[in-house]
Amino acid sequence: MNAAYHIRPATQNDAALLPAVELAAARLFLDRLDETGLTPAMVENTNSTADFARAQQAGMLWVAVTAQDEPVGFALLAEIDGSIHLEELDVHPTHGRRGIGAALLMQVCAWAKAAAYPGVTLSTFRDVPWNAPFYARHGFRVLRPDEMTPGLVRLRQGEQRRGLRSDLRVIMRYDCLNSRRATD
């Protein structure tokens, strides 16, 4: 990651700034509606300031900031069935391709490992280059159906109810106890 940025836990002040980062990153999908099954309305739907504030208060939100402490990326987390779940990882496109997303991901995995979580899970698009292929390069693997925990099954069902096509998505896992790739 470029030295002009660093990763830190989010503060209360960050919550109001993160929906704009999420929206800018989501708009990258407007050119990929056919391969993702997304609609323009789905792209425009972001987490609320209140969602980010709750995650920040729970210690489940990391941000990438500029030297001026301006948030330009974030990792929004939750806990599902005893593992950390990466709900959203976004970097504002004007700060993209500088290793910020990878640095956020490595921070989340290192934090989860230090906190003795067995793994980090996520749900993402199978074929979008900055989705599943990106996570695979950092030590995540696609879960088989028999590896899905009840919470991950509910997560997938919730995605389907929101209109996300599960045939275009995968659930992936980074094993904190057995892997070193993302935190090396």
CATH class of 5-183: alpha beta
Q: Tens place of pLDDT for every residue, the chain, 184 residues?
A: 778 999 999 999 999 999 999 999 999 999 999 889 999 999 999 999 999 999 999 999 999 999 999 999 999 999 999 999 999 999 999 999 999 999 999 999 999 999 999 999 999 999 999 999 999 999 999 999 999 999 999 999 999 999 999 999 999 999 998 755 554 4
pLDDT at 183: 46
Query: Could you give the 3-state DSSP secondary structure of residue 1?
Result: coil
56 CB-side CA count, 13 A: 20
Read off the pTM: 0.94
Q: Which residues contact 102 (CB under 8 A, 6 or more apart)?
A: 1, 134, 138
pLDDT at 184: 46
> Within 10 A of 45 (CB to CB), how many other CB atoms are there?
12
